[in-house]
Chains A and B, each alone.
Chain A
Amino acid sequence: MTLSAAIPSWLPAAQILLLDAGLVLSVYLAWRTARREAGNVRRAVGLLMPWAALAIGLYAAAVWILFQPMQMRGMVM
């Protein structure tokens, strides 16, 4: 009996690229919103910073989760 379930080698890179696109899009949309809401560039940058930090934090967390081993070790302590 054979168990075969190979993971394609391109999958982690594709997953990271999706996360990359999400980060860039988030920061871009945050910047556009900040520019619309703020009167000048300096204030827009101030409005952007916390949201950009949040987006980068979520990106880092997602990458960290992506590389965690998802294996069941319930049978062995």
Chain B
Amino acid sequence: MAKVTGWVFLAMAAPLFADGGAVLLHEQHPPFVITVFGSPVPLRAGNVDLSVFVQSSETLEPVLDAEVLIRLRSSRSEVKVRATRARSNNHLMYAASAHLDDPGKWDYSVTVKTGSQAVDLTGSFDVSPEPPKLDGYWPYLLLPFCALGVFALHQRLSLRRLAKAPISRV
């Protein structure tokens, strides 16, 4: 039983990712190696953080003087954001926040420019619906208190009946 329960919980568990969210894309496009991270994991409608790590394809050193533009497009809306190093914690990545209105499939393109060199990358990701709100679950939250109330009533009635019952003598 414990083994089965363990497997059930393991199957339900979402994978954990390190700082910066999940890797959405990692590609080598000379003169760059570009990695795009998305957070939260999984991506949900609402505010999301996108980070781009730009490296030189020759030395793998981080490129710190790039201009990074991210375009996000769903079937109904489009978002453009400029990712900057100032917005990232470690100042090695280019980070931006974006608001994704709709769940579903989103296409994105990342443009990285340094001087005269520019690289465009494209990809897509699935966006889950917004996280559940507590308000929608109040019947589930009331359920144990109703059960305990019924149990308390049952105990009260059965104790009262027990008190009224005549004591049998042997």
Selected from A9, A11, A17, A75, the residue in CB contact (under 8 A) with B37 is A75
With A72-B41, A75-B20, A75-B93: A5-B147 Cβ-Cβ less than 8 Å: no
Separation of A5 and B75 alpha carbons in the complex (Å): 20
In chain B between 33 and 89, which residues have their CB closer than 8 angstroms to a CB of chain A?
A: 37-43, 49, 51, 87-89
| Min CB gap B119→A, angstroms | 15
Interface residue? B25 (CB, 8 A): yes
Contact indicator A1/B25 (Cβ below 8 Å) = yes
Chain B contacts for A76, CB-based, 8 A = 49, 51, 87-89, 95-97
Chain B contacts for A27, CB-based, 8 A = 148
Separation of A69 and B42 alpha carbons in the complex (Å): 11
In chain A between 37 and 76, which residues have their CB closer than 8 angstroms to a CB of chain B?
A: 41, 59, 63, 67, 69-76
Chain B contacts for A7, CB-based, 8 A = 14, 42, 128
Separation of A9 and B140 alpha carbons in the complex (Å): 15
Chain A contacts for B134, CB-based, 8 A = 63, 67
Size bin of chain B's contact surface: 35 or more
Contact indicator A3/B89 (Cβ below 8 Å) = no
Contact indicator A75/B125 (Cβ below 8 Å) = no
Size bin of chain A's contact surface: 20 to 34
| Min CB gap A72→B, angstroms | 5
With A17-B140, A76-B88: A67-B49 Cβ-Cβ less than 8 Å: no
Selected from A67, A69, A72, A77, the residue in CB contact (under 8 A) with B20 is A72
Complex A-B: 21 CB contacts under 8 Å: A1-B25, A3-B22, A3-B24, A5-B41, A6-B42, A11-B12, A17-B143, A20-B140, A20-B143, A20-B144, A23-B144, A24-B151, A31-B151, A63-B141, A69-B40, A69-B131, A72-B41, A72-B49, A73-B39, A75-B39, A75-B87
Chain A residues within CB distance 8 Å of chain B: 1-7, 9, 11-13, 16-17, 20-21, 23-24, 27-28, 31, 41, 59, 63, 67, 69-77
Given A12-B137, A72-B20; 10 other pairs, CB 8 A cutoff = A6-B126, A11-B12, A16-B141, A20-B141, A23-B148, A75-B19, A75-B49, A75-B89, A76-B95, A77-B89
Chain B residues within CB distance 8 Å of chain A: 12, 14-15, 17, 19-22, 24-25, 37-43, 49, 51, 87-90, 93, 95-97, 105, 123-126, 128-129, 131-134, 137, 140-141, 143-144, 147-148, 151, 155, 159
